[in-house]
Amino acid sequence: MGKDKNYFLNEKPEKMTYGGVFRKINDWARARSLWVVAYGTGCGSIELRPTFTSRFDAERLGMRMVGTPRQADVLIISGYLTVKTLKRVIRVYEQMQSPKYVVALGACPINGGMYYDSYNAINRLDLYLPVDVWITGCMPRPEAILAGFKRLQELIDSGKADGWKKYIENLDWYRENQRKIIKNWRMPNYNW
């Protein structure tokens, strides 16, 4: 790393506890202000454009797109995920600040979908990243996406969207799975 040492943390992040006095207010605010990182992995990202613009208007749920993972709360895996993209997705996910949530769109992240026998699309996303909400369909329409986000809001409100905690607790297990398919790991180990 050398010169880059300012930009990455090289120790494992400590386990973050979730609670405190303001827990209820925090959950309430987090559920109503979901910022989505503007990053599309597959064909599903085409459905996010109408979701976030005038036709379906996700902004009335308090959501908006931001152009940097540092400020975002939600990562949408939109459609099939190739090994090459998975590398980038892991980086984006780890650069996001806790608490963070993952929403998987479409059939491909669930079981491979129509790319189940493809040599470069992964079959199950939750071996590599913790997923909070699955939205089925190929592709899900914007209505389904909005319903999924409504579900995510309910989960956050009741404190059940804890994928980010699971990820830190079982980091070694996730790393093992990730390294199994990413042969050449040209990334820092803990780049929070």
CA nearest to 99, candidates 42, 173, 20, 178: 20
The residues pairing with 105 across neighbouring beta strands, listed in sequence order, are 78, 135
User: Binding to another protein by residue 154, rule CB under 8 A?
Assistant: no
Q: Which of 12, 13, 15, 49 is in the footprint of another protein by CB under 8 A?
A: 13
Q: Name residue, tokens 């190929």.
A: 138
CB of 130 to another protein, least distance (A): 8
Residue position matching structure tokens 């949408």: 76
Q: What tokens does 44 get?
A: 């599903």
Return the number of the residue (46 or 173) whose C-beta is nearest another protein.
173
Answer yes or no whether residue 15 interacts with another protein by CB under 8 A. Answer: no
Stretch that binds another protein, among 43-51, 113-121, 141-149 (CB under 8 A): 113-121
Type and span of the H or E element at 169: helix 163-169
According to DSSP, residue 119 is labeled S
Regarding 136 and contact with another protein (CB under 8 A), the answer is: no
The minimum distance between CB 124 and another protein, in angstroms, equals: 6
Say what the alpha-carbon torsion angle 127, 170, 100, 109 is, to the nearest 10 degrees. 0
Count how many residues are written for the chain: 192
The token pair that represents 85 in the structure block: 């993209």
Residue 157 within binding range of another protein, rule CB under 8 A:
no
Task: Pick one of 84, 91, 160, 179: the residue that binds another protein (CB under 8 A).
Answer: 84
Residues forming contacts to another protein in the complex (CB under 8 A) are 6-7, 9, 13, 16, 22, 25-26, 29-30, 32-33, 54, 57, 59-62, 66-68, 70-71, 73, 83-84, 87, 97-99, 110-112, 116-124, 126-127, 166, 170, 173, 176, 180-184, 192
